[in-house]
């Protein structure tokens, strides 16, 4: 279940309106470029994120054939991407299985430092700023996505040009936050204290029950004013949030498992991007 807006059918006015065919070909082009630039036949462990875009990453990798992919294992960031990987005939390794392998057989991961066992992680995003900080969690998989990103040497964020924004939350409506159901109201109040306007528990539809995550939790979509981006940090003194400062503040709320702001504490590793963006962040 997605947050109330935007969707392909109800784009906000500041997102370019594209036909479904154009959107799909832009997604495919971004993914083909991402795989051409960041996938290597020598890799053994590949992280696969969630959402409709990353399906084209799987398509592009599977197209290389079993001679390339048979020795590889694919770590999905959720049940949907596990099904996608399996459906493409690729081998799935869950996060716990990867961690068990790494602790039981460290020699299988030569040269790995900082527990970055996964060679590369491909994932989509809901919105990406000029420095490749991203909002994710439109598909409610943000926690596992953050775990897979953490375990990866490189995070390739694949997004078509609709997802670009000068600042996070300039076009995407809210920050997705995964919360323990028992504390959802407490978290909503604390998000309002941080400046969110009317944070809501995501539901399966209007008036329906909350939509659960793969972890049995709920998602709260918390609308904030657009965040600062690189070069605007001075404004933080006026009480405005940067991606990192808002993520840290939300993470500090009792009952929050994870927040859908992906902005590396070590700083972004930006690349020059075309209109169909394949961005890389550590
Ligand atoms: C799921 C995500 C997705 O990567 C994000 O929602 C983008 O999805 P799509 O590629 O379908 O636009 O973060 O939690």
Torsion of CA 205, 23, 119, 175, to 10 degrees: -40
- Distance in angstroms (rounded) separating the CA atoms of residues 98 and 234: 42
Residue corresponding to tokens 């962040």: 281
**pLDDT over 60 at 90, yes or no:** yes
Query: With contact defined as beta carbons under 8 Å apart, do 157 and 132 qualify?
Result: yes
Please compute the mean of the pLDDT values over residues 58-65 and round it to a whole number.
98
Q: Which atom of ligand 1 is nearest to the CA of 260?
A: 13
Please compute the mean of the pLDDT values over residues 102-130 and round it to a whole number.
92
- Distance in angstroms (rounded) separating the CA atoms of residues 47 and 26: 22
Is 194 exposed, middle or buried (CB count within 10 Å of its CB: 0-12, 13-18, 19+)? middle
β-pair type (120-123, 155-159)? parallel
- Distance in angstroms (rounded) separating the CA atoms of residues 81 and 257: 21
CA 159, 163, 168, 172 torsion: positive or negative? Answer: negative
Q: Is 50 in the pocket of ligand 1 (CB under 6 A)?
A: yes
Please compute the mean of the pLDDT values over residues 89-100 and round it to a whole number.
98
* ∠ Cα 143 199 49 (to 5°): 25
Helix (H) or strand (E) holding 67: helix 66-69
Q: How many helices (H) and strands (E) does the chain have?
A: 8, 12
pLDDT in tens, 170-197: 999 999 999 999 999 999 999 999 999 9
Identify whether 37 is a catalytic site residue. Answer: no
- Distance in angstroms (rounded) separating the CA atoms of residues 45 and 62: 14
Q: Is 146 strand, coil or helix?
A: helix
pLDDT on residue 235: 75
Q: Is 119 in the pocket of ligand 1 (CB under 6 A)?
A: no
**pLDDT over 50 at 281, yes or no:** no
Tell how far the Cα of 2 is from the centroid of ligand 1, in angstroms.
9
- Distance in angstroms (rounded) separating the CA atoms of residues 152 and 112: 10
Report phi then psi at 142, rounded to 5.
Answer: -65, -30
The residue annotated as part of the active site, out of 59, 127, 145, 237, is 145
Q: Is 126 in the pocket of ligand 1 (CB under 6 A)?
A: yes
Q: E strands within the chain?
A: 45-48, 73-76, 120-123, 127-128, 134-135, 155-159, 175-179, 200-201, 218-222, 256-259, 261-262, 277-281
Q: Is 53 in the pocket of ligand 1 (CB under 6 A)?
A: yes
Report phi then psi at 107, rounded to 5.
Answer: -70, -15
Please compute the mean of the pLDDT values over residues 124-150 and round it to a whole number.
92
- Do the interacting molecules here have an ipTM over 0.95? yes
**pLDDT over 50 at 23, yes or no:** yes
């Amino acid at each position: 279940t997605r947050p109330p807006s935007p969707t392909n059918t109800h784009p906000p006015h500041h997102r370019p309106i594209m036909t479904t065919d154009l959107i799909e070909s832009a997604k495919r082009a971004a993914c083909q470029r991402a795989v051409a630039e960041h996938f290597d036949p020598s890799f053994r462990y590949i992280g696969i994120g969630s959402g409709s875009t990353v399906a084209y990453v799987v398509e592009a990798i599977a197209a290389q054939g079993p001679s390339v992919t048979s020795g590889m294992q694919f770590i999905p960031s959720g049940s949907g991407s596990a099904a996608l990987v399996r459906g493409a005939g690729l081998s799935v390794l869950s996060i716990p299985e990867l961690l068990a392998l790494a602790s039981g057989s460290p020699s299988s991961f030569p040269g790995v430092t900082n527990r970055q066992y996964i060679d590369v992680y491909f994932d989509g995003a809901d919105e990406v700023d000029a420095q490749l900080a991203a909002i994710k969690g439109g598909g409610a998989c943000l926690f596992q996505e953050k775990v897979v990103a953490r375990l990866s040497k490189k995070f390739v964020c694949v997004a078509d040009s609709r997802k670009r924004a000068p600042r996070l939350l300039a076009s995407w409506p809210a920050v997705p936050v995964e919360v323990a159901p028992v504390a959802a109201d407490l978290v909503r109040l604390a998000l309002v204290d941080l400046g969110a306007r009317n944070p809501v528990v995501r539901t399966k539809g209007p008036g329906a029950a909350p939509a659960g995550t793969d972890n049995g939790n709920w998602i709260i979509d918390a609308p904030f004013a657009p965040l600062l981006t690189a070069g605007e940090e001075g404004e933080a003194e006026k009480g405005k949030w940067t991606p990192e400062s808002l993520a840290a503040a939300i993470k500090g709320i009792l009952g929050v498992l994870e927040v859908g702001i992906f902005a590396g504490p070590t700083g972004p590793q930006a690349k020059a991007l075309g209109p169909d963006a394949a961005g890389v962040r550590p």
